[in-house]
Amino acid sequence: MPRDGSRRPAGDAVPLAPMDIGELADPPFAVLPEPSRVFLARSERFAALAPGHQLEAYLHLLSQITRAQHDILGDLSEPALPSAERLALARENTMPPISTGQIVLDDGADRTFEALLKALAGTDLADSSRAALEAAEKAGAEARRLMMQAVILDEIPTDAIAEHVLAAAAVQVLFTRLAARLDVKKLERVADGVCPSCGGAPVASAIVGWEGAHGTRFCTCSICATQWNVVRIKCLVCGSNDGIAYHTIEGGQQTVMGETCEPCGSYVKMLHQHKDAALEAVADDVASLALDLTLTKEGWTRASINPFLMGY
User: What is each CA distance from 150 to 94, 154, 248, in whole angstroms?
Assistant: 25, 6, 32
Residues 111-120: tens digit of each pLDDT: 999 999 999 9
Residues 193-223: tens digit of each pLDDT: 999 999 999 999 999 999 899 999 999 999 9
Residues 241-296: tens digit of each pLDDT: 999 999 998 877 789 999 999 999 999 999 999 999 999 999 999 999 999 999 99
Q: Is the pLDDT of residue 312 over 90?
A: no
Q: Could you give the percent of the chain with pLDDT greater than 90?
A: 85
* Between 158 and 33, the higher pLDDT residue: 33
**pLDDT band at residue 72 using 50, 70 and 90 as cut-offs:** very high
pLDDT score of 11: 43
pLDDT score of 24: 63
pLDDT score of 252: 72
Q: Could you give the percent of the chain with pLDDT greater than 70?
A: 92
Q: Is the pLDDT of residue 19 over 90?
A: no
135 vs 58: CA distance, rounded Å = 19
- Section 152-166 average pLDDT: 93
pLDDT score of 77: 93
**pLDDT band at residue 1 using 50, 70 and 90 as cut-offs:** very low
Residues 79-131: tens digit of each pLDDT: 999 999 999 999 999 999 999 988 889 999 999 999 999 999 999 999 999 99
Residues 269-280: tens digit of each pLDDT: 999 999 999 999
Q: Taking the model in full, what pTM does it have?
A: 0.91
Sequence-separated (6 or more) residues with CB below 8 Å from residue 14: 8, 247, 248, 249, 250
What does the longest C-alpha to C-alpha distance in the chain come to? Answer: 58
C-beta of residue 96 within 8 angstroms of C-beta of residue 164: no
CB under 8 Å, gap of 24 or more: what pairs does 68-72 form?
Answer: 68/116, 68/119, 68/120, 68/123, 68/169, 69/39, 69/42, 69/43, 69/116, 69/169, 69/172, 69/173, 70/36, 70/39, 70/40, 70/43, 71/119, 72/112, 72/115, 72/116, 72/118, 72/119, 72/173
Q: Is the pLDDT of residue 21 over 50?
A: no
pLDDT score of 17: 40
**pLDDT band at residue 142 using 50, 70 and 90 as cut-offs:** very high
pLDDT score of 22: 46
User: Domains in the chain, start-ordered, CATH in brackets?
Assistant: 13-30+185-309 (3.90.1670.10), 34-184 (3.90.1670.10)
